Amino acid sequence: MHGSETMKRQPLYGLLAEFHSAEELLEATKHTYGAGYRRLDAFSPFPIEGLADAIGFPRTRLPVLVFLGGLFGCCGGFFLQYWPNVIGYPVNIGGKPYDSWPAFIPITFEMTILCAVLTTTFGMLALNGLPSPYHPTFNVPRFAQASKDRFFLLIMAEDTKFDSEQTRQFLTELNPREVSEVES
Amino acid sequence: MAPTDPENVATVVSPGSEVLGPGHTYGSVTDKISSIVLTRGTGKKYRAGLALAIVLLLVLNYAITILMAVGVGVFGINIPVGWGFAIVNFVWWIGIGHAGTLISAFLLLMRQKWRTSINRFAEAMTLFAVACAGMFPLLHMGRPWLGYWLFPYPDTMGVWPQFRSPLVWDVFAVSTYATTSLLFWYVGLLPDLATLRDRATKKVKQIIYGVLALGWRGSARHWKRYETAGLLLAGLATPLVVSVHTVVSFDFTAAIVPGWHSTIFPPYFVAGAIYSGFAMVIALAIPLREYYGLEDFVTIRHLDNMGKIMLATGLIVAYSYIMETFMAFYSGNPYDRFMIMNRMTGPYAVLYWVLIAVNLVIPQLLWLSRIRRNPLWLWFLSFSVQAGMWLERFMIVVTSLHRDYIPSSWGMYYPTRWDWMVFIGSIGLFFTLFYLFIRFLPMISIFEMRELVHKTAEESAP
C-alpha cells in the first residue's frame, strides 16, 4: 500500500508509533512537533509531565468553567433560601430578620461545592469528548498496551504535512518499537 | 514493521523506596492489581466473609421492615432521650467516611506519595460509609414517608424546608458529600477501568468495563484535563470534608442542652471523624495487604504514617475532652458542671470510663514506633479507636439528653434489640459493599502506582 491516491480498503486515520518509555515518547513528540507536524496525539498509561505541551496543547478551559459553576451554585443556593424566606412565604418569628444571611451560609457553601464538583466532573468528560464509544486507534491491536506499559505517538492523516511514506520514514527514524497504520 | 528489539528494553524498574517495594515495573504493578479482579476469583475465606456480611445485611433488612411497619417506638427512644442509636450511628458512619476523602483529596494537594496505594479503597470506604450513614436520618424519623419534605421542592402548599435548621443543612451537606465522593471515586477509576477493559479476556467483562471506562484511551490531552480535574476536585473536597462534619456537629451545637451547646464541637468532631476514619482504613488495609499479598504496595511506612495521623487526631480529641471538662467547671454554670459530673459518676459512668480507656489511654501506645510498625498491634488499636469513637457519640447524645435542666424530666435510655439489629446490620451493609468492591474493581489505583514507579525510578537515576 503506498500513496494516498491509490484505492484503499479503509481511509487512513494516521500513523501510530510505539515506544518503550515515557522519556522516549516525550523526546519523539518534541522532535515531531519541531519538524512541523501539528495534528498530533500521544498516549500513555499514566500522565507524563510536559507531554501535553509537546503536542501543542498548553491550557485547558476547565478551571474557568468550574469557577463559573461554583459561582452559579453559590448564587443559586443563596437565592434558593432567600426567595422563600423573604418573598415567597416569609414567617414572622419574634421579629427576626427575614434575610438571615448568616443562617444561609452553610447551604450556600454546600451548593457552591456541589455545582463546582458537577461542573468539574461533567466538564472534564465533555471537554474530553467522553464517553467516546469508538476511536480509530483501537483498531491497532497493540494499542491495548497503552493502558499498561507502552507509549504511543499518533500523527493524524489530516495534518498538512502528512504523507503516507515520508511520515512513516520520519517516524521510523525516531526509533520506535513499531509503526502501525491506523484505519479510520 | 516487525519488532526489532526485545520486549523489556528500556522498561523502567523501580529500585524501591519507603512506599514501594523494589523491582516493580509498570507491567508488574498493572498485573498484580488487575489480576486480583480479572483472574484470581474468590477463595474460601472471601466467600465466608461475604456470606457473613450478607447475613448481617439481611438482619438489617428485617429490622428496617419492622421499623417501617410498626414505627419508631420499636427503638429505645423516649422523652427525654428523643435521639438514640440512630443518630449515634449516623454521626459515627459519616465520621468514618471522612478519612477516605482526606487521603484522596488532602494528601493529593500535599503531594504525599504514600497516599497512592491506599486512596482507592479508602475512597470506596468513604462511599460505603456515607451510604450507611445516609439511611439513618430517614430511619430515625417518626414519619419517614414524609422524608422528602426535607428537600426544597416547589409544593402545592407553598411551604419550604426550614433553611435555618442544622437538620436541613445536614441534608445538603451529606447529599453534596455523597455526590462528591461518588464522582471523585469514579473519575479516579476511569483510567483503571480502561486497563481492565484492555486486559479482560471474557466478552462480558470487556463490555461492562468498556462501557464504564467511557472510551478512555490515555490521550495526553485527556490526561491534562484529567489531572486538572483531579486537583480541582481535591481542592473542593477538602473544605467539603471539614464543612460536612462541622454541619453534623451543628445538629448538636444549635440546641441548648448542656454538653451540646458548645463552640468546641466543630473542630472536635472533625478531628474525631478523621481519628475514627483512619482507624477504619487501617482495619481494612491490614487484612487486605495480608490476604492479597500487597506488602510491596501498602508498606510498613504506610502503616506508620496512618498510625501517626491517628495519634495526632487522637490527641486533638483528648484535648477536646479536657477542655470540655475544664470549661464545665471554669464557667461556673451549675448545669454544665452537673453534666460532666453525671458523665463521670452517673448511671452511664461505666461507659464513660471505658470510653476514656479505649479512646484516650490505649491509643497512646501509638507513640511507640514499634507499635505503629507492627500490623497486628495496629489492627487491634484500630478497633479500640472505632469502639471508642462510637462510645463517644453515645456519650454525647445520650448523657446530655437524659439529664438536662429540670430533674423532673430526667430519664434513662436503653437500646432495644431493634436498635442493635439496625446498627449491626449497617455494618453488614458496609462490608457487603466492600467485599463486592474488592472483587470487581481494582482496590489500588493502578495508573497512580505506575506514576509512582516512574517517579521512584527517576529520582534514583544517576
CA B177, CA B278: separation in Å to the nearest integer? 18
User: B412 is written with which cell numbers?
Assistant: 434513662
Interacting residues of B363 by C-beta distance below 8 A, sequence separation 6+: B310, B311, B314, B381, B384, B385, B388
* pLDDT class of A81 with cuts at 50, 70, 90: very high
Give the closest-approach CA distance of B431 to chain A in angstroms: 28
Domains and CATH numbers, chain B: 41-144+161-184+239-429 (1.20.1630.10)
CA A20, CA A55: separation in Å to the nearest integer? 18
Residue A21 has pLDDT above 50, yes or no: yes
Residue B2 has pLDDT above 50, yes or no: no
Q: What are phi and psi of B112, to 5 degrees?
A: -90, 115
b or e along B22-52 (b: 16 or more beta carbons within 10 Å of the residue's beta carbon)? Answer: eebbbbbbbbbbbebbbeeeeeeebeebbee
Q: Which of B4, B223, B233 to mutate to test the interface with A (most CBs of A within 10 A)?
A: B223
Contacts of B152 in chain A (CB under 8 A): 80, 84
Contacts of A44 in chain B (CB under 8 A): 218, 220, 223
- Partner residues linked to A43 by β-bridges: A152, B219
Give the closest-approach CA distance of B220 to chain A in angstroms: 5
Residue A131 has pLDDT above 60, yes or no: yes
CA angle B29/B32/B37 to nearest 5° reads 125
Contacts of B5 in chain A (CB under 8 A): 177
Interacting residues of A101 by C-beta distance below 8 A, sequence separation 6+: A78
Q: Of B282, B276, B236, B233, nearest to B118 (Cα)?
A: B282
Would you state the pLDDT for residue B459? Answer: 81
Would you state the pLDDT for residue B4? Answer: 44
Helix intervals (H) in B292-333: 300-330
Residue B6 has pLDDT above 80, yes or no: no
Closest to B26 (Cβ–Cβ): which among A45, A134, A137? A45
* pLDDT class of B10 with cuts at 50, 70, 90: low
Instruction: Using a CB–CB cutoff of 8 Å, tell me whether A108 touches chain B.
Output: no
Task: Determine the 3-state secondary structure of A42 from DSSP.
Answer: strand
Selected residues 206-235 of chain B with any CB under 8 Å from a CB in chain A: 211, 214-229, 232-233
Q: Do A121 and B3 touch (CB under 8 A)?
A: no
Q: Give this complex's ipTM.
A: 0.92
CA B186, CA A121: separation in Å to the nearest integer? 9
Mean pLDDT of B88-104: 94
Residue A18 has pLDDT above 70, yes or no: yes
Mean pLDDT of A89-94: 92
Give the closest-approach CA distance of A35 to chain B in angstroms: 19
Mean pLDDT of B94-109: 92
Mean pLDDT of B306-329: 95
CA B183, CA B435: separation in Å to the nearest integer? 20
Give the closest-approach CA distance of A109 to chain B in angstroms: 9
To the nearest whole number, what is the mean pLDDT of chain A?
90
Amino acid at A163: D
User: A39 is written with which cell numbers?
Assistant: 495534528
- Partner residues linked to A41 by β-bridges: A154
Would you state the pLDDT for residue B15? Answer: 80
Q: Do A116 and B26 touch (CB under 8 A)?
A: no
Task: Determine the 3-state secondary structure of A13 from DSSP.
Answer: strand
* pLDDT class of B1 with cuts at 50, 70, 90: very low
Q: What does the pLDDT look like over B194-225, one tens digit per residue?
A: 999 999 999 999 999 999 999 999 999 999 99
Task: Determine the 3-state secondary structure of B12 from DSSP.
Answer: coil
Distance of CA B158 to the CA centre of its chain: 38
Task: Determine the 3-state secondary structure of A15 from DSSP.
Answer: strand
Q: Do B187 and A121 touch (CB under 8 A)?
A: yes
Residue A3 has pLDDT above 60, yes or no: no
Mean pLDDT of A76-90: 94
Residue A1 has pLDDT above 50, yes or no: no
Selected residues 1-40 of chain A with any CB under 8 Å from a CB in chain B: 20-22, 24
Q: Do B152 and A80 touch (CB under 8 A)?
A: yes
Residue B17 has pLDDT above 80, yes or no: yes
Burial (CB < 10 A; 0-12, 13-18, 19+), residue B14, is buried
Would you state the pLDDT for residue A175? Answer: 86
Q: Do A20 and B239 touch (CB under 8 A)?
A: no
| CA dihedral of residues B148, B151, B156, B157 (deg, nearest 10) | 100
Q: What does the pLDDT look like over B339-366, one tens digit per residue?
A: 999 999 999 999 999 999 999 999 999 9
Q: Do B218 and A45 touch (CB under 8 A)?
A: yes
DSSP labels for A126-178?
HHHT-S-S--GGGGSGGGGGGGTT-EEEEEETTSTT--HHHHHHHHHHT--SE
Q: Do B163 and A89 touch (CB under 8 A)?
A: no
Mean pLDDT of A6-29: 84
Contacts of B2 in chain A (CB under 8 A): 178
Give the closest-approach CA distance of B213 to chain A in angstroms: 8
Closest to A149 (Cβ–Cβ): which among B9, B27, B219? B27
More confident residue, A3 or B322: B322
Using CA coordinates, name the residue in chain B closest to A133. Answer: B215
- Partner residues linked to A19 by β-bridges: A151
Give the closest-approach CA distance of A174 to chain B in angstroms: 14
Would you state the pLDDT for residue B7? Answer: 52
Q: Do B164 and A62 touch (CB under 8 A)?
A: no
Mean pLDDT of B417-426: 97
Instruction: Using a CB–CB cutoff of 8 Å, tell me whether B51 touches chain A.
Output: no
CA B89, CA B419: separation in Å to the nearest integer? 10
- % of chain A at pLDDT higher than 70: 95
Residue A9 has pLDDT above 70, yes or no: no
Q: What does the pLDDT look like over B186-196, one tens digit per residue?
A: 999 999 999 99
Is the Cβ–Cβ distance between A54 and A30 less than 8 Å?
yes
Instruction: Using a CB–CB cutoff of 8 Å, tell me whether A140 touches chain B.
Output: no
Mean pLDDT of A3-21: 75
